[in-house]
Chain A
Amino acid sequence: MSAYQIWFYIIASMILGGALLAVTARKIFRAAIALLVSLIGIAALYYWMHYEFIAAVQTIVYVGGIVVLIIFSIFLTHNPGHTIEEPVNIREAFAFTGCFAGFAFVFSLLNRYSFEQTGDALNHTMQVADVGRALLSTGSGSYLLPFEAVSLLLLAAMVGCIVIAIKIRTK
């Protein structure tokens, strides 16, 4: 086993362990911290695949933004040390069976299909300048229109959040 493989399996166990704890922990704050571990593991996986820019974006947006937002909302809606209700037993059994069956199905499909290496994708290195050029140019292989649509969506989401969560003072 080379260092690359060992690092991959360490990162994978970090992601899956964090995710499992995040969906099963009975204390909601512990679940949020486990989610944090899982998201950091995903950033590490991007770093492992030599996409440093995506790893940085993942760290900033998910770890620094969404998890902090979730922890804020936990503190706004729960007492500290709140224990989550147990899931309904019959529903848990059905969910487990369904998810396990789905996983087994996709696993067998992936096992049967061997992905053919095309071109020299592994030697391709991504420059951050390429990302900027792809986002802000027109023509084939560029994404100016989705970029502008996403910026409009972010503005709409921001205004929508304020409208939904604002407290209207009644006299």
Chain B
Amino acid sequence: MIDQVPLTHILFLSTALFFIGAYGFLTRRNMITMLMSVELILNSVNINLVAFNRYLHPDIDGVIFTLFIITIAAAEAAVAIAIIISLYRKINSIDPEQADELKF
């Protein structure tokens, strides 16, 4: 059964995924890959919610939260990519350090 794997192992997995995403977000110099790192971070949170729901909570609240997070993440990715495309048209690059139009 599923309880042969303790809950902490799943939490270790999601912690590792979160910090891998954070590392990618801090080191990448490309907006699309930074967006991919953000997706990894959001997914680690989803794993946490689903795992706690499976192991500790005999109801489906965690699953509903996960559904909402997946929806918000989809909207966020779409808006981010619209911004990236529009920025690429303006400055012909998606390096976040080149995007300094609002500086003065």
Q: Is A119 in the interface zone, CB < 8 Å from B? A: yes
Chain B interface, DSSP helix/strand/loop, else mixed: helix
- Evaluate whether A131 and B75 lie within 8 angstroms (CB atoms) in the complex, with A2-B4, A46-B50, A91-B26 already known: no
Chain A interface, DSSP helix/strand/loop, else mixed: helix
A106 and B23 alpha carbons, distance in the complex (Å): 15
Contacting residues, chain A, for B26 (C-beta < 8 A): 91, 94-95, 98-99
Chain A interface residues toward B at CB < 8 A: 2, 4-5, 8, 12, 15-16, 19-20, 22-24, 28, 31-32, 35, 38-39, 42, 45-46, 48-51, 53-54, 57-58, 61-62, 65-66, 69-70, 72-74, 76-77, 84-85, 87-88, 91-92, 94-96, 98-100, 102-103, 106-107, 110-111, 114-115, 117-124, 126, 130-131, 134-135, 141, 143, 146, 150, 153-154, 157-158, 160-162, 164-165, 167
Please encode chain B, from 10 to 33, with 1 for each CB lying within 8 Å of some chain A CB and 0 for all others.
111101110111111011111011
Closest to B74 in A: A61
**Interchain residue pairs with CB less than 8 A apart (23):** A5-B5, A8-B5, A12-B9, A22-B37, A23-B40, A28-B30, A50-B54, A53-B63, A54-B50, A54-B63, A73-B32, A84-B33, A85-B29, A102-B22, A103-B16, A107-B12, A114-B8, A115-B55, A122-B3, A131-B63, A150-B68, A154-B74, A165-B85
Closest to B70 in A: A61
Contacting residues, chain B, for A110 (C-beta < 8 A): 8, 11-12, 15
A49 and B66 alpha carbons, distance in the complex (Å): 14
Flag if B8 contacts A115 (CB, 8 Å): yes
